[in-house]
Structures are given as C-alpha cells and as structure tokens.
Amino acid sequence: MRVAVLMGGTSAEREVSLRSGQAVSSALRDLGHEVVEVDVGPDIALRMTELRETIDAAFLALHGRMGEDGTIQGLLEILAIPYTGSGVMASALAMNKHLSKQVFRARDIPVAEDEAVGAARVAERGLGKVAEEVSARLGFPCMVKPNCEGSTVGARRARNIAELEEAIEEALRYDDLLLVERFIEGREVTVGLVGGEPVVLPVLEVVASKGVYDYECKYTQGMTEYIVPAPIPDELAERLRRLSLEAHSALCCEGLSRVDFMLDEEGRPYCLEVNTIPGMTSLSLIPKAAAAAGLSFHRVVEMVLETARLKINREGGCREVG
C-alpha cells in the first residue's frame, strides 16, 4: 500500500506527534509499504487533495487539536480517503472531556466529580470568586485541565485557592472551557485497545517520579516507571479491561484507543479519558502494553492500518471496502 502518514500539526502536542509519525513511518516501510510523510499545516486540504489519487490510505499520527478532534477526519471523509482510527464524531467526543464524561456517566462508567468552568464565567464573576465557588464544591486538592487538550498540556494540580487561581488562568490559555476535577489520590493505570475487533491489552501502571504523570514525565526518558501487567488483583484487572471496552464503545471509537484511569486508595477505578490517537513513540504506553501481550510494534501498526477500510460513498455514508 501507499500510505500517507499525517503527523506534526499545529497543536501543543506537535513534537510528540512528529515522533509518533516517524516511528510509524519506519515500521510501515519495514512492512513493505510505501510511505509519504505529511507534516500537517495550514495547506493540508490542498496537500491531501493533491495526494488523494496516489495514496491508498492515511495513517493518522496526529495528537491534540486539529488532528485528534475530528477536523482532519472530516477532511479525509470529504476527500474519500480511507484513514486509520476513529471517525469524526468519536474523535470530537473523546477530545472533549466535558462531553465524554457525560457519555460515561450515562453508561455507568465511574468518573471523578467535576465542574466545567468557561472563560465567560471567569470574566463575568472574577477569577477569585469562581475559584472560591469551585473549591467550596470540590475541595482540595483538585485537578484543572483544559477541556480539549491532551498529554496533560495545561493541566495542573491545585492544593489551595492561590494555586487554583493560577491553574485556571493557565488552562484558559489553551481553551475557553476547562474542567476542575476532584483529585483522586492513588495509582494511575491505562488500558489500550487495538484493531477493528479490538484486542484489549494488559493493564499498565504508570509510576511518575514527580507523583503526577505530566507532560515532562510522559516524554522524558527515565522519569516514569511503567509496570505491565499492573500489579493489581486479577478481578480488578478484568474490570478495568471491561470498562475500557465499554468506554471505547460508548464513544464509538474504532481501531485504536487508550483509556486512562485513576485507582483510589481502596482500588476503585475512575475513568479519566479516552485517547483516540495515543502516542506511538518509544516512550509511549500502547507499544509497551502490546509487547506484554506478545504484539510487536510492527504488528500494532499493521493492525491499525487494517482499520483504514472505510470509504465515503457517493450518498455520503460509509461502507467497508476490501
């Protein structure tokens, strides 16, 4: 196949995306595919229009806004270019933490208590007043996250009013809507799903040297320990895998996802989010969990590529093509 690997983009996760794209491109070449590397920029619509007749599929290695949020997926559907992973709706839902948590609650998937805070509310009522209102409901510590960012970009833990005000200001640099969540003290674990009929990978535990798995810990060698399979009871591991499949299905995800959880001190799981295009770098979690399941990185890439079989038909729907 001739595959366009879309990477880079303009989000805060650009550098991570470039690394993911380069790793995927290398694996695809090893597997015998012809690869066209595409660094996504403002001219992406023109670039893909030029490529549409000469490529068989697009492999998406984009992270964050304008890549993982349904925008690129919509462009590729308009151009009738088969692409890997989730479609427009699933991508947009998963990227939107506030909306995805509403879906999870409707499906009885446990999530942390939270409050959404918009830029307009802060402007109208004042930063200090909003911080007081939120902390009165959720208490401290709490986590503040931009609504539509990944890789913990713009996310901070707040232990008091002053830190909460700073965290709100920081999150609003990235998004006009943010979530403040009750902080779950405990262990962070994640579950990957790969393939059209998804293979649910072993539970992986993340032990960050700083106590919080932030951007620096995620992408700096040696700052995080990864334990797979996670040292948890079999019953809990099976429940996490079931919840992951439920979250993946609830958002209508396809092909690839990673579902992140916190386990509180009593071992109760809380779903944090679903990542529809998780990292594929040497430090990323999907390759590590896949290796524990006996799947090489090359096999994972091939399984994801196999999901790029949906093609837009002339009536505007989707059909599977051979």
C-alpha closest to that of 229 among 244, 219, 220, 240: 240
96 flagged as catalytic: no
151 flagged as catalytic: yes
Catalytic residue among 151, 244, 257, 284: 151
275 flagged as catalytic: yes
Catalytic residue among 14, 100, 273, 284: 273
160 flagged as catalytic: no
State the amino acid at position 28 in one-letter form: L
Q: At what angle do helices 71-78 and 88-95 cross, to 10 degrees?
A: 170
Catalytic residue among 25, 100, 147, 275: 275
214 flagged as catalytic: no
C-alpha closest to that of 135 among 144, 146, 124, 126: 144
Distance CA 219, CA 159 (A): 25
Catalytic residue among 13, 149, 181, 254: 13
Catalytic residue among 114, 149, 214, 260: 260
Catalytic residue among 69, 258, 270, 284: 258
- Provide the token pair at 252: 């209508």
273 flagged as catalytic: yes
Do the Cβ atoms of 1 and 51 come closer than 8 Å? no
Helices (H), ranges, 107-181: 119-125, 127-138, 161-171
Catalytic residue among 174, 213, 219, 270: 219
Distance CA 270, CA 252 (A): 20
Active site positions, annotated: 13, 151, 219, 258, 260, 273, 275, 279
